A and B are shown apart, each in its own frame.
Chain A
């Protein structure tokens, strides 16, 4: 579907999402030329989706750092007046095949623990909807019936749940589970700085 393949999304969920906090911490220290970290993250994922193949990448963490770095560099280059010649295109060298990882089981277990933790930390209604949909595998309609909600409300709760989980992933599980007014204000000040 228009470049966003589920196969790639699964790969990113497994290989890149867990490294987002480290990536953000690194970006925080760089001159982003006025870009927000979230902008860089989004464009990084765009490039990761557009990459022809990821089969050769056996260290996705570094690859993600590299791509994020190139997003920033491209932005800085566009900003600056570069008087000489043209800047060469960024080409990614291909690297060796993915290594089999015998520790996958342990990692999976960690993933599952983290997932359970995230679901547990979702705000009330969203958590209920999310648990029914994701853990018990009910359809949206079934969830609506069970909880006496409109289907569109269930969908909204799910969207909100995904958004909060995105925050969790982005900040290593430290994001507030219930964004409140004061959280919003805190964000505001951050942006103003």
Chain B
């Protein structure tokens, strides 16, 4: 089957919208319309969006009979100062929370957002930047006129930063800072581990404000690590696209492994769930794992892995035990 492009669907939706804007459909047209609507999951949305435009444009009546489109300019009397609009925008609506296995929140200038184990959350900031929190993570947003500051208190987050050259976006994770103007990267701050910065797009600068050393530039498809030892140098290295994708799998609620040991996999699952994976056998613990797994289901993971490693998974109180 040949799929129609979104553009074709939009054009068809506009035709239907115009037809219905003239008058109600004849019965046989109605039938055609429904057939069209149900042919593709995108059609209803495309039509609905067009219908929204049809109805929104009806408000143009308020422009009055004196409105002359050929004489209209943006700085005519109707236009209102942008600054005033922004002020209003800032005043509207406090944080909202919606869920999708994780939750969504919005905020203006300051705010604290966190996730529990196994949760993800998206925080859409008003400057257009979007932060996605991974499991057991917490951020504190401190926006000011001069800069866009976000503290990664703990855990891991993906930052999709809206470009703004005059207001740098700075993530602080302990003693390590990551500065960007418009890019996409994750920062991971776990206990007793180096702060890790993974850049998906653009370039960021990683530095420790307390130390008098030049910032390390980290480009797309690279990873930087800031060692726990305060004086140790920040090191960056390129990563393969496949590894990049694996490291980002949490965004779809999954964990990807490729050659990690079972012990490492168990530690990774511990970030997402209180149910511990306990491995009794040291040889078993060294077995290598590959595959894509649901992050919040350590039991399912252990059961499946047990089959492939010829081991036994027994479920106990708050744990699943792997033995041979």
Q: Which residues on the A side are within 8 Å of B34 (C-beta)?
A: 2
Q: List chain A residues, Cβ under 8 A from B55.
A: 6, 9-10, 13
Distance between A183 CB and nearest chain B CB, rounded to angstroms = 12
A103 and B92 form a contact (CB under 8 A): yes
A interface residues, tally (CB under 8 Å): 94
Contact between B93 and A59, CB atoms less than 8 A apart: yes
Determine if B48 and A29 form an interchain contact, defined as CB atoms under 8 angstroms apart: no
Report yes or no: A135 in contact with B61, Cβ–Cβ below 8 A.
yes
Q: Tell me whether B252 and A45 are in contact (CB under 8 A).
A: no
Enumerate chain A residues within 8 angstroms of B33, measured Cβ to Cβ. 2
- Tell me whether A92 and B14 are in contact in the complex, defined as CB-CB below 8 angstroms, given that A80-B292, A165-B53 are known contacts: no
Nearest neighbor of B34 in chain A, beta-carbon distance: A2
Q: Is the CB of B44 within 8 A of A45?
A: yes
Q: Which of B62-100 contact A (CB under 8 A)?
A: 62-65, 67, 69-70, 72-74, 78-80, 84-85, 88, 91-93, 96-100
Partner pick for A43 among B41, B50, B104, CB 8 A cutoff: B41
- Interchain CB contact (< 8 A) of B100 among A58, A92, A169: A92
List, in ascending order, chain A residues with CB within 8 A of B100's CB.
66, 69-70, 90-92
Judge whether B37 is part of the interface by a CB distance below 8 angstroms: yes
For residue B65, give the distance in angstroms from its CB to the closest CB of chain A.
Answer: 6
B212 within 8 A of partner (CB): no
Interface size class of B (residues with CB under 8 A): 35 or more
| B285: interface (CB < 8 Å) | no
Question: Which residues of A come within 8 Å of B, CB atoms?
Answer: 2-4, 6, 8-10, 12-14, 16-17, 22, 25-26, 29-31, 36, 38-39, 41-50, 57-59, 61-63, 65-66, 69-70, 73, 76-77, 80-85, 87-88, 90-93, 95-96, 99, 101, 103, 106-107, 109-113, 115-117, 119-120, 122, 127, 130-131, 133-137, 140, 151, 155-156, 158-160, 162-163, 165-166, 169
Q: Which B positions have Cβ atoms within 8 angstroms of A?
A: 5-7, 9-11, 14-15, 17-19, 21-23, 33-34, 37, 41-65, 67, 69-70, 72-74, 78-80, 84-85, 88, 91-93, 96-101, 103-106, 122, 124, 128, 130, 160, 162, 184, 200-201, 245, 248, 251-254, 291-294, 297, 300-301, 304
A-B contact pairs, 29 of them (CB 8 A): A9-B55, A10-B55, A12-B52, A13-B55, A26-B128, A29-B160, A29-B200, A42-B9, A45-B49, A46-B41, A46-B42, A58-B93, A59-B106, A63-B96, A82-B254, A84-B297, A84-B301, A87-B253, A92-B98, A99-B93, A109-B78, A112-B60, A112-B63, A135-B64, A140-B23, A158-B21, A158-B22, A159-B11, A162-B18
